[in-house]
């Protein structure tokens, strides 16, 4: 009971990240290419640590004035309510940058990372099926089905269509569509934070698609068919 009680104290946003990365790590055990497996596993751990640190400490950057009149340890014990957004965006950017400096941003690594992430995310949605209620449960079941479908679609015989940025773009579309029936708890301008995050992924995916189209126009031989089994 003590362990269960302690685990309950882990905030859901960190528990979610831990479950997703754990799921991704398990999925990566099935990856045949050892280099790809090692590369994605390293980045997954970096993602987890960066996410937790940024999400936890974003209050220090968001509310620096608090430092002036509050005990620093009390401040460190506080996490801003939307810290997960900063954590996710920051962790994704840092992982992409780390992939770039390690020259790992090639199709097999990106695809393995995408599939492993989808598996981890599916596990997280599956857990949430037993937690959420009402419209949140409808959203969760919808996202679980879509995530599993996208994973199976991506895992099927390698196709030139199932590129990582397209999978993430479809995930963003699914997130936006399933968010329609939810109560709007926090609204920042036009969207809720989850919707803003989905919009960010959507436009990043479209930017990647546009870049691919431009590259194809310039050099059709090199970029026409990215081989996922390279």
The alpha helices in 9-106, defined as continuous H runs, are 12-28, 34-62, 66-69, 72-76, 83-101
Residue pair 88/51 in contact (Cβ under 8 Å)? The answer is yes
Site for another protein in 123-142 (CB under 8 A): 133-136
Which of residues 155 and 193 has its CB atom nearest to another protein in the complex?
193
Beta-carbon contacts of 199 under 8 Å, excluding residues fewer than 6 positions away, are: 172, 176, 191
Q: Is 18 an interacting residue with respect to another protein (CB under 8 A)? A: no
How far is Cα 229 from Cα 102, in angstroms, rounded to an integer? Answer: 20
Q: Which phi and psi (to 5°) does residue 191 adopt?
A: -125, 170
35 near another protein, rule: CB under 8 A: no
Separation of alpha carbons 93 and 204, rounded Å: 11
Q: Is 220 in the site for another protein (CB under 8 A)?
A: no
The region of 45-53, 79-87, 101-109, 115-123 touching another protein under the rule CB under 8 A is 79-87
SS3 170: helix
- Identify the residue among 38, 49, 63, 211 touching another protein (CB under 8 A): 63
Nearer to another protein by Cβ, of 22 and 173: the residue is 173
Q: Based on the shown chain and the rule CB under 8 A, indicate whether residue 74 belongs to the binding site for another protein.
A: yes
**Is 104 among the residues that bind another protein (CB under 8 A)?**
no
Closer CB to another protein, residue 11 or residue 106? 11
Provide, rounded to whole angstroms, the least separation between the CB of residue 112 and another protein.
Answer: 27
Contact positions with another protein (CB under 8 A) in 168-197: 173, 176-177, 179-187, 190-191, 195
């Amino acid at each position: 009971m003590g362990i269960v009680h302690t685990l309950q104290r882990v905030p859901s946003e960190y528990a979610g990240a831990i479950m997703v990365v754990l799921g991704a790590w398990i999925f990566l055990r099935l990856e045949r290419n050892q280099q790809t497996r090692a590369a994605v596993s390293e980045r997954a751990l970096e993602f987890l640590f960066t996410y937790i640190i940024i999400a936890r400490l974003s209050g220090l950057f968001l509310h620096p004035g608090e430092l002036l009149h509050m005990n620093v340890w009390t401040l460190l014990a506080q996490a801003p309510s939307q810290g997960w957004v900063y954590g996710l965006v920051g962790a994704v950017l840092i992982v992409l940058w780390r992939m770039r400096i390690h020259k790992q941003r090639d199709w097999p690594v990106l695809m393995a990372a995408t599939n492993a992430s989808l598996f981890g995310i599916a596990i997280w949605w599956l857990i949430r099926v037993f937690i959420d209620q009402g419209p949140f449960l409808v959203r969760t079941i919808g996202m679980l089905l879509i995530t599993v479908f996208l994973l199976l679609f991506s895992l099927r015989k390698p196709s030139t269509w199932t590129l990582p940025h397209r999978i993430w773009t479809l995930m963003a579309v699914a997130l936006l569509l399933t968010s329609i029936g939810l109560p709007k708890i926090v609204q920042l301008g036009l969207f809720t934070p989850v919707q803003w995050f989905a919009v960010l992924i959507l436009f990043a995916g479209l930017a990647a698609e546009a870049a691919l189209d431009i590259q194809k126009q310039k050099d059709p031989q090199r970029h026409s068919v990215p081989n996922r089994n390279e």
